[in-house]
């Protein structure tokens, strides 16, 4: 039955905790402490449940031990009272003892109707929770942890025996507690006995014999009891050494030497066997410890080695164990001794398990952060452990302690160490913490007076530029780098400033580069080759990066004028000179290319958008038309040879003169009129020439006079070509052969002046057109209709009538082959009919152009 009870309590190691709402009802501990999740069990029968928690006022982390009285309901009333009294006594005794290897009580025992509770330092587990085959692998102890833990127990027991004069009487796996820093602590002082010296002054510890009438959990565990208690009824400090030996065996083998439960008679028989040195197999015990373990388990108390002797065995001479032991006694040493130890610690940390570094070494190191002179020696070790940690471990165990150190600038080595390990900090520190704590650290590093720190800071700054927002970069980082570059007297610092800016360019943005960086480069007065080449590098990046791209105007106005003097600076090598010249050429080539493209585009746009006047339209049409002319009439007088070199070209394509005149205004007479010299004759030229209202002409004009007449006619846009000499003018009789046609031409022409009248286009000899059809020949009329298939609209490229040649078609005069022999035969051609319809048509044609347009045209 007793074994069943013990096994049941042992099984609670692996059970989950019940809801916390029923754990501490009405207990005063809950008023000061917030109780969280259960982490382990401890004490006799593992009846104490241990919960994580924290103090409400200070947020200090603690562990809360809770015993629920309902666990005793199955026992008798006497057993319950005995058990409760034992538990109360053990906690009260624990509260009185203060030692680094005795569990520290933060809040004394509080009792309520349902529970007992007290608060201690943070606890990881009891030794019973981490020993045995069923323990999870992540909780199993490393060998260095066991060795170091045993040394800590030696120190704790030595203090109890020599200083407190107390015999524990129940050293076992359940009463050894491992705290959060993996230090082993004595606990479970339920059955301890204080020294009661005899009259002669010798120490004496009364022995309480085991009683079968008392519940098994109300007495020390028989599995760990020394044989002399059963055989000789004596109790001494050596009895605790035997219990320590059984504990060591249990740690390595997973269970005690033998299980007894409440069978006291079986324990007595076993004690007799030990007296005969009959030990169980010790195959699981390390070879360098087995001999000392047998000595601890010796049946004779005085044959057992003392604790200080146990510390000297080979088993405890491991470098890792010595390191951890030295940390335990670190508070006793001065700064010089500490600094020597911390300098050698980076060589030892990599050889230890990570959990040992994180939970056993790190807590001692961060305690030194309050000692400012020691921080430069401690900090490299802390960051070395951080390098082996995950981000979660770093945030939980390291970052909290580093935050105050980030703000320190003295001693100056702190900044130097942080700069050297900045990549590690950026990798592990969350982005928000980087902005709050790491960036201010960089700002302080840029502003310090130590060039080495400044250069390290400038080197690591671009590695986490993505964590710096635009405003911080523009208003905090860049101004500090610029200030440092302009005011530092160290060339290396200046160069590193420029290199850092070059690496940051992509994250700065185009306008920040144009407004802040490029003007800043021109403010640098130093002209050392290294600085010049760093400046060239920034220009190169800014020019070639498509995201930044220095504009053409900036290169032309700012960059090239600044770079040209740099290439003639003294001290440049040929390679450096070539680099600068190449950059300048590239800039100039880009300026040339972009400017040429721009001008070409502008020219194209202007041509496309420029209004086209009548002359451009007509010139285009003439260039596209055929230039075939009819042969000149053979009947040309020798007196008119001076005019025979001029002819009128006429395109084959018909053009609406009126529409062209309406769309574009005539700019100058030169734009409208064109002289074609020695052009071949055209077959479609009218052979009949119309002449009217020619006044002030002499009866026998000379060729010169004819030229003068031609010049006087030039301001009039004449759509009709005149060919032949001065003697080829159509006679009045010939002109009047068709009076209706002549009268209609005169009345339909709005530009008929008092001194001359232009002749119409050639009309076929068999034409029977009525008088109104000739209105369509008016270049300023509104109609574009052709009268007859044989009548073609003339080209608008009006030419001075330099000669009078007979056309190939059937003109009025040309059809009969009759030419005038002298200018005396020229008489005015007067209209014979002026009907209302013709007058209306004249007015309509005249209104198509304003008076101002006509005057502008004639002038």
Q: How far apart are CA 173 and CA 190, in angstroms?
A: 14
Model pLDDT, residue 38: 93
The sign one gets for the Cα dihedral 665, 671, 675, 679 is negative
- Other residues' Cβ atoms within 10 Å of the Cβ of residue 701: 17
Q: Is pLDDT of 68 > 50?
A: yes
Q: Three-state SS for 253? A: helix
Between residues 258 and 42, the one the model is more confident about: 42
Helices (H), 421-509: 422-428, 431-433, 439-447, 451-460, 470-472, 478-487, 491-508
CA gyration radius, the chain: 60
Q: Are 355 and 321 a contacting pair, CB within 8 Å?
A: no
Residues 6+ apart with CB under 8 A from 153: 101, 171, 176, 184, 186, 244, 247
Q: Is pLDDT of 262 > 70?
A: yes
Q: How far apart are CA 323 and CA 488, in angstroms?
A: 45
Q: How far apart are CA 347 and CA 302, in angstroms?
A: 42
Question: What would the pLDDT profile of 725-744 be if each residue is shown by its tens digit?
Answer: 443 434 434 444 444 433 44
Q: How far apart are CA 28 and CA 109, in angstroms?
A: 9
The sign one gets for the Cα dihedral 804, 810, 813, 817 is positive
Q: Tokens 């009126």, residue?
A: 658
Question: What would the pLDDT profile of 612-655 be if each residue is shown by its tens digit?
Answer: 666 666 776 677 664 444 443 444 444 444 444 433 344 444 43
CA–CA–CA angle 701, 678, 624 (5° rounding): 130
Asked if residue 825 has a cis previous peptide bond (ω within 30° of 0), the answer is: no
Q: How far apart are CA 165 and CA 162, in angstroms?
A: 6
| Beta-bridge mates of residue 120 | 63, 105
Question: What would the pLDDT profile of 87-131 be if each residue is shown by its tens digit?
Answer: 999 999 999 999 999 999 999 999 999 999 999 999 999 999 998
Question: What would the pLDDT profile of 487-522 be if each residue is shown by its tens digit?
Answer: 888 999 999 999 999 988 887 878 888 888 888 998
Question: What would the pLDDT profile of 351-393 be if each residue is shown by its tens digit?
Answer: 999 999 999 999 999 999 998 999 999 999 999 999 999 999 9
Q: How far apart are CA 280 and CA 288, in angstroms?
A: 17
* pLDDT class of 797 with cuts at 50, 70, 90: very low
Residue 281 region by backbone torsions, left for phi larger than 0, else alpha for psi between -120 and 50, else beta:
beta
Residue 817 region by backbone torsions, left for phi larger than 0, else alpha for psi between -120 and 50, else beta:
left
Q: Is pLDDT of 688 > 60?
A: no
> Which domains does the chain carry?
28-123 (3.30.200.20), 137-319 (1.10.510.10), 329-594 (1.25.10.10), 615-858 (no CATH)
Model pLDDT, residue 852: 56
Mean per-residue pLDDT of the chain: 75
Name the helix (H) or strand (E) containing 68: strand 61-68
* pLDDT class of 840 with cuts at 50, 70, 90: low
Question: What would the pLDDT profile of 306-322 be if each residue is shown by its tens digit?
Answer: 999 999 999 999 999 99
Question: What would the pLDDT profile of 160-207 be if each residue is shown by its tens digit?
Answer: 999 999 999 999 999 999 999 899 999 999 999 998 887 777 888 888
* pLDDT class of 411 with cuts at 50, 70, 90: confident
Helices (H), 664-730: 669-672, 703-713
**Percent share of the chain, pLDDT over 90:** 38
Instruction: Give the mean pLDDT of 463-473.
Output: 82
Q: Model-level pTM?
A: 0.63
Q: Phi, psi (5° rounding) for residue 212?
A: -75, -15
Model pLDDT, residue 855: 54
Residue-by-residue DSSP string for 345-368? HHHHGGGS-HHHIIIIIHHHHHHG
Model pLDDT, residue 247: 95
């Amino acid at each position: 039955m007793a074994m069943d009870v013990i096994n049941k309590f042992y099984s609670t190691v692996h059970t989950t905790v019940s809801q916390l709402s029923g754990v501490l009802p009405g207990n005063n501990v809950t008023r000061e402490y917030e109780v969280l999740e259960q982490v382990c069990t401890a004490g006799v029968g593992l009846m104490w449940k241990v919960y994580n928690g924290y103090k409400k006022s200070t947020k200090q982390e603690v562990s809360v031990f809770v015993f629920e009285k309902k666990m005793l309901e199955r026992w008798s009333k006497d057993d319950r009272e005995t058990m409760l009294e034992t538990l109360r006594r053990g906690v009260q005794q624990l509260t009185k003892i203060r030692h680094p290897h005795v569990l520290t009580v933060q809040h004394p025992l509080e009792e309520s109707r349902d529970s007992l509770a007290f608060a201690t330092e943070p606890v990881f587990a009891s030794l019973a929770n981490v020993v045995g085959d069923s323990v999870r692998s992540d909780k199993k102890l490393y060998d260095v942890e066991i060795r170091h833990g045993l040394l800590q127990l030696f120190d704790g027991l030595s203090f109890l025996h020599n200083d407190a004069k107390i015999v524990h009487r129940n050293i076992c796996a359940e009463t050894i507690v491992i705290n959060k820093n993996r230090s082993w602590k004595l606990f479970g002082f339920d059955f301890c006995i204080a020294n009661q010296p005899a009259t002669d002054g010798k120490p004496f510890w009364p022995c309480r014999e085991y009683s079968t009438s008392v519940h098994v959990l109300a007495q020390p565990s028989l599995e760990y009891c020394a044989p002399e208690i059963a055989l000789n009824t004596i109790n001494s400090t050596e009895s605790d050494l035997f219990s320590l030996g059984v504990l060591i065996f249990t740690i390595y083998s997973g269970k005690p030497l033998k299980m007894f439960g409440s069978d006291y008679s079986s324990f007595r028989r076993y004690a007799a066997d030990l007296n005969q040195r009959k030990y169980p197999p010790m195959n699981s015990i390390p070879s360098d410890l087995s001999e000392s373990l047998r000595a601890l388990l010796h049946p004779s108390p005085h044959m057992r080695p003392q604790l200080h002797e146990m510390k000297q065995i080979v088993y405890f001479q491991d470098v890792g164990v010595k390191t951890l032991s030295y940390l335990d006694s670190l508070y006793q040493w001065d700064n010089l001794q500490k600094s020597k130890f911390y300098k050698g610690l980076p060589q030892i940390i990599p050889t230890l398990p990570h959990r040992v570094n994180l939970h056993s070494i790190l807590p001692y190191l961060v305690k030194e952060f309050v000692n400012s002179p020691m921080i430069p020696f401690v900090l490299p070790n802390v960051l070395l452990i951080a390098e082996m940690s995950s981000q979660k471990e770093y945030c939980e165990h390291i970052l909290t302690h580093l935050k105050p150190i980030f703000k320190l600038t003295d001693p100056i080595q702190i900044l130097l160490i942080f700069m050297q390990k900045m990549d590690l900090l950026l990798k592990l520190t969350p982005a928000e913490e980087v902005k709050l704590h790491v960036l201010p650290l960089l700002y302080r590093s840029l502003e310090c007076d130590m060039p080495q720190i400044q250069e390290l800071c400038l080197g690591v700054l671009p590695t986490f530029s993505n964590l710096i927002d635009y405003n911080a970069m523009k208003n905090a980082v860049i101004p500090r780098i610029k200030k440092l570059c302009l005011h530092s007297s160290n060339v290396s610092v200046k160069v590193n400033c420029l290199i850092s800016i070059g690496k940051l360019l992509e994250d700065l943005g185009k306008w920040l580069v144009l407004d802040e960086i490029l003007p800043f480069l021109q403010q640098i007065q130093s002209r050392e080759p290294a600085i010049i080449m760093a400046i060239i590098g920034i220009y190169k990046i800014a020019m070639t990066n498509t995201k930044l791209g220095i504009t053409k105007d900036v290169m032309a106005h700012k960059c090239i004028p600044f770079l040209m003097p740099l290439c003639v600076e003294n001290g440049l090598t040929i390679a450096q000179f070539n680099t600068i010249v190449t950059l300048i050429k590239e800039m100039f080539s880009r300026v040339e290319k972009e400017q040429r493209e721009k001008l070409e585009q502008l020219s194209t746009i202007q041509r496309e958008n420029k209004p086209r006047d009548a002359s451009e339209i007509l010139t285009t049409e003439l260039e596209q038309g055929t230039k075939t002319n009819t042969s000149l009439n053979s009947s040309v007088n020798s007196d008119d040879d001076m005019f025979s070199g001029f002819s009128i070209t006429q395109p084959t394509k018909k053009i609406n003169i009126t529409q062209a005149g309406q769309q574009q205004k005539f700019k100058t007479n030169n734009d409208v009129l064109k002289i074609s010299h020695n052009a071949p004759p055209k077959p479609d030229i009218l052979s009949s020439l119309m002449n009217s209202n020619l006044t002030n002409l002499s009866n026998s004009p000379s060729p010169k006079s004819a030229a003068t007449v031609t010049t006087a006619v030039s301001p009039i846009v004449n759509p009709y070509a005149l060919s032949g000499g001065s003697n080829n003018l159509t006679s009045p009789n010939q002109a009047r052969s068709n009076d209706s046609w002549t009268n209609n031409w005169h009345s339909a022409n709005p530009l008929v002046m008092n001194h001359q009248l232009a002749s119409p286009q050639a009309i076929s000899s068999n034409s029977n057109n009525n008088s109104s059809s000739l209105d369509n020949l008016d270049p300023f009329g509104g109609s574009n209709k052709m009268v007859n298939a044989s009548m073609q609209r003339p080209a608008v490229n009006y030419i001075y009538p330099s000669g009078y040649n007979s056309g190939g078609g059937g003109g009025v005069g040309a059809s009969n082959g009759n030419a005038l022999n002298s200018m005396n035969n020229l008489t005015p051609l007067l209209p014979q009919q002026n009907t209302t319809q013709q007058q209306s048509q004249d007015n309509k044609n005249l209104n198509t152009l304003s008076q101002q347009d006509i005057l502008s045209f004639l002038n």
